[in-house]
Structures are given as C-alpha cells and as structure tokens.
Chains A and B, each alone.
Chain A
C-alpha cells in the first residue's frame, strides 16, 4: 500500500496488516490431511476409522504449524483452539448416531406385532417371545412413580417459590433437592428394598417398590423444573390478584399455576422420560417375571429395561442350524426391546418439547 501521507511521519508505523493465512487455508489443510492419511492407510491397510482419526490429527497439527510460521504464536494458538473445539463437537455427534443406528439396525427386524403382544411365559430357545408383560410393567410402575412424585414435587416447588423465600428451611430444601439429583439410582432401589423388606420380610418383591424408588429419583427433577417455571411468573400478576382481594392460595391455584402450566407439564414429562429408562432400582426391588402382572402391590413385575438386562445376561444359545453371524435369541430380543424403549423415551421427549413450545409463556409480559 503506497499512499501519500500529508502529515508528519508518525512515531510508530501503523501496522494493521498482519501476515494472514488465506481464507481457504483450513480447507486446503483439511483436504491434504484426508488425502495424506488415506494414502498411508492404503499402504498400511487400515480401516476407515483410522483414516478419519489420522486426518483429524493431521489437521490439528498442520494448520497451527502453518499458522505459526506465517501468522505468529497468538494466531496459531487461536487456530489450534478453534480446531479443537470444532473437533470435540464433531466427535460428540458420533456416539449418539452410532448408538441409534445400531439399535435400529438390530432392533427393527425383531419388532413386530407378535413381539409387542407376547410375553415370555414358557418361551424356550428361539421361540417367539415378546415384551408385552414388560411394557405393561413399565407403564404401571412409571405411572405410579409419577403419581407419587408430581404432587410432592409440585407442592415442594410451590413452597420454595411462594412461601419459603428467605427461610432457612427453604434454603436447605433447595440445596438438598440439588444433592438428591445426584443419588445413584441403585441406591434408590436399595432404599426401597430395605424399606419393604423391613415391612414385609426379606422375600418381598413388588412393582410398587419400584415406583417408590423411581419417585425418589423423579421428585428432585420435578421440583427443579417446576420451581423454574413458577419463578418465571411475573410478580405483577400475583400483585394484581392480591389487589383484587384474592387470598394467596387461590392466587396460586388460579393465576400462578395456569400461567406456568405448559412448562410444568414439560418438566414432568421430561422427568418421566428420565426415569422410565431406569434399570437398576427395578432390578433390585421389582424383580423379574416372565408373565403379565398388573398388580402393583403383589408379586414381581418386569419392566422394559430389566427385560433388556436379563435377555442380555441370559441370551440362550444360537440354534446350531442357524446361518453364521446369527445372534443369540436373547440378544436379538434385547435389541428389539431397546428399540421400543428408545422410541418411548424419544417420543416423550419430543412431546414434552412440543408442549413446552406451544405453552411457552408470552415474552411480551416478561419485558418491562
């Protein structure tokens, strides 16, 4: 850049141009990295994963080095960190995609009308068995857990937001609810087991015990999400209601709760989705059975996750005349059940998000 300077020469030159890599530099390095590692892989006979890993590594080394040579250390660091951050996010997508694809690929051939409507009673070897009893068990146990958790969670959140402000008890409850979210699920199961064993003797196993264990895991989630939603309700609304002479409890029931209803439902559904996949507590306290049981308060009750676990641990043997590569019948059933379970969980999540979006509190009242 040559320009005529009218004013006196400055004390320090104006350096706004730093040597920079061209905009296509990352692309070039990327292409080179892929080609280079591909070539190496051809020579050494590696698989696609190795090629990919090597290409990423090559990119992570080459681009910062080039930048260091041209742009200096600060830009090189910046480029390295940017590449790392992008890489981390790219890699994060891999497990979910891999897992979902695997489950669909192995599970889909299993899932049919018989699979969904048969139970496992008297099923031997690769006879048609099903998950009907497990679906029933899952629904009953989870519904019962929700029936316990929602009232407690809802009232607890109301206490924290509407009554507890500044009280020591409320501070403790808030803190312990947070701690409770971290209780290992198996501990919740053992707790329920210990409780019912103490009440009814050592051999007791029942679906309701599973519900108690699950609600221990569910309550803190419901409290947290409900609390958040209640806090979003603007105080103006409450005050407007008080000003009309409405008592506090009616204000909560008629004004506060309806305003945040959508968010509360979303929170409850997400909490349900979270506990519906729990295995460990049910394994411990609800036990396992091969037939349908609709009585929460008596006898063992199988749920879908427990079903998957037992099919996995006791898969049976592959029939000797089956084509090579056939999976043991139990494993195949486990994949099928896993697909159904994931579908239920994802559906719950999706509906929850939809509900949340439909009922989203109007942003117009939040802005002052």
Chain B
C-alpha cells in the first residue's frame, strides 16, 4: 500500500507503527464501502433470484415473474417521470432565483425553506399526500378529465379520492425538489462572474445573460441533477405506498383510480402478509429496483465527473 505513492511528497516515510495501523484502518474503511455495495448486490441476489421461478400463485393476479415486475417497473418509471416533469421546471426556477434573481434578503430564506423540505420524513409526506393533498386535488382531476381528456394521460374517469398517480407524482415532485434545486443552485453560482459581466457589457438583458453565460456552464450539472432527482423518485417508497391505491396494470392514465403500483410501494404494502415464497419474489423485485436505480445514479454521477474534469481543464 505504501509503495504506490512515490509521486506525492510525503513528510517522511510512513513507517511508524501508529502510522501503519492508522492508515490500515482508514483504507479498511474505504474498502468497507466497496464491500458493502457488493454485499447489497450479493445478498439480494441470494435471497431474490429464487423469487424469479416461484409457483404461479406467488405472482397473483399474474402468473410469472417478468410480467409481474414489468408492470411494477412501468408504474415506478411513470410516477417518477410525472414527478420529474413537475419538479424540474420549478427546481430550475428556484435555483436561478436563489443564484441570480433574488435580492439577498430573500435568497437565503428561500434556500433554507427548500432545504427544510428535504428534512421532512417521507412517511409524513405520505400522510399529508393521502389525507390532505389528494382530496384537495380531486377538483383538478375532474377539470383535467373534462378539458384534457383527449390526452391519454387524462383519459379519466377522474378519481374521486385523489389516490392517483398524479397525486403520488406531485408528492414525489415536492420530495425531489430540494435535491435538484440544491445541485442546480451550486452549478449556477459557479458560473464565472467575468463571463456574466462580459454578457451584460454587450447589452444583454438578465435573461440573455443567464442564457449566454450561465447555462453553457451548467448544462451537464442540470442533466445530472435531474437524473439524481429521478433516482430519488424511483426509489421512494412510503409516499407512494400511502397515496396510491394500486393494481397491476399498464396504463398511462394518471387520473383514474386504477393505477399501477411502484416496485418500492408494492414491497411496502405486500410485505406484511407475505409468505416465504412471496417474500423471495418481493426481494427479487427489490433487486430489479436496485439495479435500475444504480444504473441511473451511475450515469448521473458519470456525467458530473466528466464535466468536472472538463471545467477543471
């Protein structure tokens, strides 16, 4: 371990026993992280893979694993995308507000409020979404059914309980707003002052300045922020489990009471009555969710890492 650092100026060779023990501990902690991630995958696989080939009764009302998980995955992606469509424009707006538009007296409190939103436990969001937001959104459902029913998303009939993908997506949107906002804000603030002044000195309006000298820097940051938000939304459990009343269907309809469940919410709500067979099936769906979110997060982080390298140049 100590032989690979010839490039780095060491104060003196780390030969003392204390040094070796300490470095060993630190390195072990680093390796633990890798081991933990690998363990997550391995243990889920050990317990979950048998869940793929259980008797048909474990997949009720369907008959085998892939159609079962397919519908759940569809619901997961649908709810997450709804959340993203709602959250992303708001997050961009708020981030811009904090970084470039707000008077200083307002920027700090708004940033604080958005951060606090991240601190609210998901189960409280679920409670609020199911008991308060859902019923309040019922008129919106009716309105969408009436006026936008020609779109497949709003085909209706509008739910009268508000327990729909639209409500769940709205709650998810509120939950992922802080992370998208925080990352966007950070990259917006990093846009070089000199470039902004160059744009302004050419006679750009504030919006043109943002377009000309903030967005070009922030593009990859925005992409990764949105993808990280997507990752959050994909894995969120409680809020969806408490808001949705689910059935295993493929439907784009966001406002009817017939909704697909998400993987995570399905695990939470089916878990209590699960037989050992069913448990293996649920763990297998969890494995699918893990792989899927891992891929999304991996891609998002890779985009960030690449752009960081580019900006450092």
- Complex CA gap A252/B19 in Å reads 10
A86 to chain B, nearest CB (A): 7
Find chain B residues with CB under 8 A from A242 CB. 11-12
Q: Identify the interface centre among B32, B39, B48, B269: most chain A CB within 10 Å of its CB.
A: B32
Are A279's CB and B22's CB within 8 A?
A: no
A160 in the interface (beta carbon within 8 A): yes
Are A184's CB and B293's CB within 8 A?
A: yes
Are B127's CB and A78's CB within 8 A?
A: no
Are B44's CB and A182's CB within 8 A?
A: no
B102's closest neighbor in chain A, by CB?
A89
Are A190's CB and B39's CB within 8 A?
A: no
User: Which candidate, A90-98, A109-117, A139-147, A259-267, is the interface stretch facing chain B?
Assistant: A90-98
Find chain B residues with CB under 8 A from A349 CB. 116, 119
Q: Identify the interface centre among A92, A102, A176, A305: most chain B CB within 10 Å of its CB.
A: A92
Q: Identify the interface centre among B43, B98, B304: most chain A CB within 10 Å of its CB.
A: B43
Find chain A residues with CB under 8 A from B82 CB. none
Are A87's CB and B93's CB within 8 A?
A: yes
Are B236's CB and A89's CB within 8 A?
A: no
B85 in the interface (beta carbon within 8 A): no
B81 in the interface (beta carbon within 8 A): no
Find chain A residues with CB under 8 A from B127 CB. 308, 312, 334-335, 338
Q: Given contacts A202-B279, A280-B268, is CB(A247)–CB(B19) below 8 Å?
A: yes
Per-residue CB proximity of B256-275 to A under 8 Å, as 1/0? 00000000100111010000
Are A184's CB and B44's CB within 8 A?
A: no
Of the candidates B18, B28, B231, B290, which one forms a contact with A247 in the assembled complex, judged by CB atoms under 8 Å apart? Answer: B18
B208 in the interface (beta carbon within 8 A): yes
Are B228's CB and A182's CB within 8 A?
A: yes
B76 to chain A, nearest CB (A): 10
- Complex CA gap A331/B23 in Å reads 52
A164's closest neighbor in chain B, by CB?
B30
Q: Identify the interface centre among B8, B34, B39, B271: most chain A CB within 10 Å of its CB.
A: B271
Of the candidates A175, A181, A341, which one forms a contact with B305 in the assembled complex, judged by CB atoms under 8 Å apart? Answer: A175
A309 to chain B, nearest CB (A): 6
- Complex CA gap A103/B289 in Å reads 31
Q: Given contacts A92-B94, A186-B267, A193-B283, is CB(A77)–CB(B11) below 8 Å?
A: no
Find chain B residues with CB under 8 A from A95 CB. 117, 174
- Number of interface residues, chain A, beta carbon within 8 A: 97
Find chain A residues with CB under 8 A from B114 CB. 92
- Complex CA gap A190/B266 in Å reads 13
B100 to chain A, nearest CB (A): 8
Of the candidates B210, B231, B286, B297, which one forms a contact with A190 in the assembled complex, judged by CB atoms under 8 Å apart? Answer: B286
A68 to chain B, nearest CB (A): 13
Find chain B residues with CB under 8 A from A305 CB. 121-123, 238
Find chain B residues with CB under 8 A from A187 CB. 40, 44, 235, 286, 289-290, 293
B148 in the interface (beta carbon within 8 A): no
A282 to chain B, nearest CB (A): 10
Are A78's CB and B207's CB within 8 A?
A: yes
Are B120's CB and A277's CB within 8 A?
A: yes
B194 in the interface (beta carbon within 8 A): no
B201 in the interface (beta carbon within 8 A): no
B125's closest neighbor in chain A, by CB?
A99
Find chain A residues with CB under 8 A from B242 CB. 309, 312-313
Are A102's CB and B268's CB within 8 A?
A: no
Task: Give chain B interface residues in 108-130, CB to chain A under 8 Å.
Answer: 110, 113-114, 116-128, 130
B83 in the interface (beta carbon within 8 A): no
- Complex CA gap A347/B231 in Å reads 28
B121's closest neighbor in chain A, by CB?
A277
B201 to chain A, nearest CB (A): 15
B238's closest neighbor in chain A, by CB?
A279
Task: Give chain A interface residues in 105-131, CB to chain B under 8 Å.
Answer: none
Of the candidates A165, A166, A223, A312, which one forms a contact with B130 in the assembled complex, judged by CB atoms under 8 Å apart? Answer: A312
> What are 14 residue pairs bridging A and B, where the CB atoms are less than 8 Å apart in the complex?
A81-B207, A88-B93, A92-B114, A163-B23, A172-B34, A176-B37, A179-B298, A180-B37, A183-B235, A183-B293, A184-B237, A190-B267, A216-B36, A334-B127
* B-binding residues in A (CB < 8 A): 74-75, 77-78, 81-82, 84-89, 91-93, 95-96, 98-99, 102-103, 151-156, 158-160, 162-167, 169-170, 172-173, 175-188, 190-191, 193-195, 197-198, 202, 216, 219-220, 223, 239, 242-243, 247-250, 252, 273-274, 276-280, 283-284, 305, 308-309, 312-313, 331, 334-335, 338, 341-342, 345-346, 349
- A163-B27, A279-B123 provided; 6 other pairs, C-beta below 8 A? A156-B33, A159-B30, A184-B235, A187-B286, A198-B43, A216-B36
